[in-house]
Structure 1
Amino acid sequence: MSAFHYQSFADDWERRATIRTRPRRVLENDGNLIFPLCRQPLVLSATFLEHCPQWRDYVLTQSFYKFINDVVIFETEIVDKTARSIAKNRFSLPFPLACRYDAMTVVVDEDYHALVALDFLQQAVEMTGIEPLDLPGQIELSRALPAAQAKVPAHLHDAVELIAVAIAENTVTHDVAAFSKDASVKPSVRGLMADHLFDEGRHARFWTQLVRIYWQSATAQDRDSIAQALPVFLGRYLTNDLQQDFDLQLIGHLDISADTRLALRHEIHALAFPITHQHPLVTNIMGLLRHSGVLQTPSVAQALSAYLPVQGRLA
């Protein structure tokens, strides 16, 4: 596989990686929020605001715990696995040494992000006295990746994994960016997100480059096979099923009347909606696939036509 056009970020990592440059952040005991209101619609619902606003901080704290848990799963069980496999030359797709070195810096970064996340979880429990509920053992990516891999021959499983991780890393970058800019949130939490974003921007570019390198060398048959797996991946990845399950669990732990609990559950179910080409996440994902050369393949554009604006679809 050619290293043509691969641009290493090793020097940038040495100078600016957060594991090398950031002090430990300490959670403030102030009046700011631990989690943005806009990321937990439950606390903004009419029923919640009218009947149980006193539970707001509890719900936001539990939502913060879930976010931390999701970060740890994403970083250590998925991205770490893929990057470590590339770094140790155990991936079925061979990459040049410069790519493998950069992959190991991703491993270091992601494990550090998970460590910092667990530090914040521990600080939050100590500060609030609120113990986490049972947290999910999976994230959407945990389900979407194997479902997509099941649609392709075994020799393409690593290729699908590479593209899936690239999509997820680019998605996380934009998600964290919005979190880091919310002025209502504690400065240390926003700082945590900003640090994460600083590294993830580098990672997003890394994965995009690797997908481009792979796609240039893939056969037409392999490209067409992967094209058929991509809608399966996105269909499982772009859902809020796990969040909805968590929110329903959370509602069950609130000391509220049966009528209020039922009304909240109805409002949570009403929040489910299909994610179309107009959603910012989809726009971002299509941008990644375009920049890496994947979306220019006719079979990919056809397979993902439902996620593309009308003018971007093939006839």
Structure 2
Amino acid sequence: MTRQDPPRRPTGYPRTGPGPLDRWYEAAGVRTGVRRLFHEEAERGKVFFPTALVPYVRHEAVAGLPPAHLGELTVRHLYQFLISTTHLETRIVNEAAEPVANNRSGLDLPASLRMDAFKVYCDEGYHALYSLDLADQIAAVTGIEVPDWDYGGFVGRLQEAGRSLLPDAPALAGILQAVVFETLITAVLNEVPGDTTVVGTVRDLLRDHARDEGRHHRFFCLLFQELWTRLDTTDRIRAAQAMPAMIRTALTWDLQPVRASLLLAGLDAPTAEEVLRDCYGGDTGDRRINDIARSTLKLCASVGAFDLPGVRETFAAQGLGHPEEEAS
């Protein structure tokens, strides 16, 4: 990363008001939380994941399956979310937080921001731990095993996207990948805690996670703004043009575990492929990606990324638009 043009502006961290993690010692889940324990007898009659957030259970080819098979599908969908979280937190977010925390990013960041990066690192390791813990508890009590599938395939694809888009700037690629993930608005963390039809332990765990992630969202927004002031015009264009593919990859659901779960539920291979095409393809996927990415797109717009040469076209090529223009 070079820093000659435009000149670096003094920013400080945070720019205004209290820092996003100032009360970490009093508020972070890893400091104050309790272990969430699953008790089947207290959860009978509830679902493990909201059916509204499992697109394929409403498909006509799936809806006719025996109720027990439908129930197992939602449990395995929860497993996919939980185990994917362990990969995301440790392989994407912490891979970006560590160089920032240890001052290996090449950005000459203030000590207060570096210490906040260490707080994020602690949080994310804890999120990975309790996600795996809950999946293991549910499997032990229900007898529905966590299948030995690759739940981190999407992380590998995102890492490969970073390497191909910014091959000579791994630290920049890693930070951008983490910014994308940590500023996305996920329906799961926002909607599940208030859904009383869902198993209480799942709701409590996702509520715990959402509280921490709200602080992380602000941290990564500030980190992105600090990063932006330290890039010259050429690197700003490179960073902005890398973002759309990262967003698209981050929000493209990992279909291999879904496919395997549908086959395990009794669908034949051609029918399973039809379900995947109907539920995850075409315009439906594009609309979902723009809706969930709105906060990330606004962050890009706030630093003027869309005004750089070729950037709007690069976003458009990935089915993403300027947030104000999409809203109008």
Q: How would you bin the TM-score normalised by the shorter chain?
A: 0.7 to 0.9
Cα distance, 1:45 vs. partner? 1.8
What is the match of residue 4 of structure 1?
11
**1:149 corresponds to 2:163:** yes
What is the match of residue 221 of structure 1?
234
Contact 1:88 1:100 in 2 (8 A): yes
Cα distance change, pair 5–170 in 1 and its aligned pair in 2 (3 A): same
- How far apart are the structure 1 equivalents of 2:292 and 2:182? 12
Cα distance change, pair 61–174 in 1 and its aligned pair in 2 (3 A): closer
**1:38 corresponds to 2:52:** yes
- How far apart are the structure 2 equivalents of 1:59 and 1:169? 27
What is the match of residue 182 of structure 1?
195
- 1:142-291, aligned counterparts within 5 Å? 142-152=156-166, 154=168, 156-171=169-184, 175-240=188-253, 242=254, 244-254=255-265, 256=266, 258=268, 262-274=270-282, 275-276=285-286, 279-291=290-302
* Residue identity matched to 2:244: P
What secondary structure is seen at the aligned counterpart in 1 of 2:280? coil
Contact 1:74 1:139 in 2 (8 A): no
Cα distance, 1:235 vs. partner? 3.6
Q: 1:93 aligns with which of 107, 112, 136?
A: 107
Q: Kindly provide the CA deviation profile for residues 165-194 of structure 1, in whole angstroms up to 9, marking residues without a partner as x.
A: 111011165541123232211122111111
- 1:103-118, aligned counterparts within 5 Å? 103-118=117-132
- How far apart are the structure 1 equivalents of 2:287 and 2:145? 39
TM-score, normalization by structure 1: 0.87
TM-score, normalization by structure 2: 0.84
5+ residue gaps, structure 1, are none
* Residue identity matched to 1:133: P
Contact 2:99 2:171 in 1 (8 A): no
Q: How many residues align?
A: 307
Cα distance change, pair 285–82 in 1 and its aligned pair in 2 (3 A): same
Cα distance, 1:299 vs. partner? 4.1
5+ residue gaps, structure 2, are 1-7
* Residue identity matched to 1:19: V
RMSD: 2.5
Identity %: 25
Contact 1:276 1:282 in 2 (8 A): no
What is the match of residue 64 of structure 2?
50
